[in-house]
Structure 1
Amino acid sequence: MANTRFLLPLQSEPVTPELRHLRYFVAVAEHLSFTGAARELRIAQQSLSQQISLLERTLGTRLFDRDTRGTRLTETGRMFLPEARAVLARADAAVATARRAAAGEIGRLHLAFLVSTANYMLPPVVRAFRERCPGVELATEHVDIAGLVSGLRDGRYDAAFTRPPLVDDIATAVLADEPVCAVLPEGHPLAGRAEVHLRDLAGERWVLTERASWPPWHRKYDKEFRAAGFEPDVVQRASSMPNLLALVAAGVGVTRLARSARSLRRSGVAFVPIAGDRAETVIAWHPRQDKPAFLRLFDVVTELAATTNLPEDG
């Protein structure tokens, strides 16, 4: 019973103090003066006194002794002070984290790279983004076009670097383009030319990727072959660019690939540009993508693309 004189009546329902009340308390505790604290907080001294009294009623105990000698912390107030400071520090940290996340300075992005573009796109993109946004964690994955599009659609990937997927529900922006080349065995009669037309390859045997690998691409190829006046004699299909290049080097047939595929094989094949044929590299994303870090990524890669020939320099 000896300590009852220190207790104040609690509010009828337990109430957690508001952050502003903790800030008021800390200010008074540091100044040990309502006048000085009110000046720092830029509120009226009477209002500050009322808010401290409300905090004390909420807690059910006095935090300050106030008399003619001045303002002093009670024992409870002294114990409460470091905890109040810690809460305010955590609140400030939470606000700072929210602001950095909203600015795209922190977060996590999962990026997909089409296997055929990863060799020249992944190093400069990841390097440039990490330099600009070191607080954003990047996860990268090499995938085929079907996995890339499905991953964008279901949210597994936040963005992808690929050839245009040619579907309506995926947004894209062009980052680079490069010549498409006829890939011929070394010693082929056309291998020494500076340029060929697609129609020049009408009588060749062809090796191409599986039609099921991505039907929108193969429908585009069909139109291009028809426009050149022929249907290719496809003697074998392969699952990847390295396989296609190996088949060409073995003399099985010819194919057409973006010029950057030269980095995958240096011997046994010749790359000859096809007149008027270009291949684009794009950044792709789902239209519902709303991560602030993605917007930072978009800015970084578009700036990078504007100053770098990615297929040649990546």
Structure 2
Amino acid sequence: MHLVMLDAGGTISAVDRGRGFDGGALGDDILAHLAEAAPWATIEACSVYRGLSEAMTFGDAMSVAQAVRGACLDPAVDAVLVAHGTDAMEETAFLCDLIVPASKPVIFTGSQRAPSEPGYDGLRNLADAVLTAARRGAAASGVLVVFGGCVLSATRARKVHAQALQAFGPDAAVVGRCGAASPLAARRPRPALPLSDAPAAAVEIVTLGLGSDGRLVTAAASRLEGMVIQGLGCGNASPGVIQAVEKAVEAGRLVGVVAGCFEGEAAPVYASGRRLSDIGAIFMKDMDARRARMLIACALGDRRTTSEASALILDWLKDR
């Protein structure tokens, strides 16, 4: 089995230069441990990003995704592993799930502790990722995140704890456990989104709370191509926000709405939600704000119009 190991930075290779941890590179000792964990595999290592994931741009994430896509298209490659920072792992993994044709196992992993810290978890997570790549069903499960003993779907995995070694969840994202013999749960195939360039960067998230009016929406609409409104409850909003969203949509901005809760989905059930839907905001079902932002950014890529991007998003959401 020939595996491509893409080093995309993060805590798993971080070094402390006296001012806190910063980006490094996977050391030879880490790669040697990986080879010991999977003596039946040949591992080809390649660096695609050096730094911590909080500093990544859409362009950086797209470079990782293009490297994943290139490796998947290589007939000599059987699986792709990506070592990535945990802060933005869910977004880059989701981007790969959106644009990389599902043909081979693609697995993201990382660590919560740096190599120099006691209890470094990177070696265990890397070994689990390699073993998962060889597991039945891995290629049919879409892009995966392997972390803390869990195998999670990149369409739903989220970093749910800032320090815990089992950092990713929720339970609904788990498709298997590391070390289990059973095959991973397959999912219905979904065609990759057509995207030849980096996602449109001018998309941001506006989070609503008690008393939120439309000022942030208005400010965002003046500078951005699209936005995600994280509403209250199942996607509700105040009259001031609704008025600002209506003006934003009239100005050609693409607006998505996600729920304000960790579980459940955005749905136009209440009057305010109905109004948002009627004026053209897209309710993004059970997507979280960061994935919704990535989907909107991808849909607006390649110079698509707002109506073209909206149609692409609605078509993608049918299978959600």
Q: Which category of TM-score, normalised to the shorter sequence, fits these structures?
A: under 0.3
Q: Which structure carries more helix by proportion?
A: 1
- Normalising by structure 2, report the TM-score: 0.22
Q: Which has the higher contact order (CA 8 A, sep 6+)?
A: 1
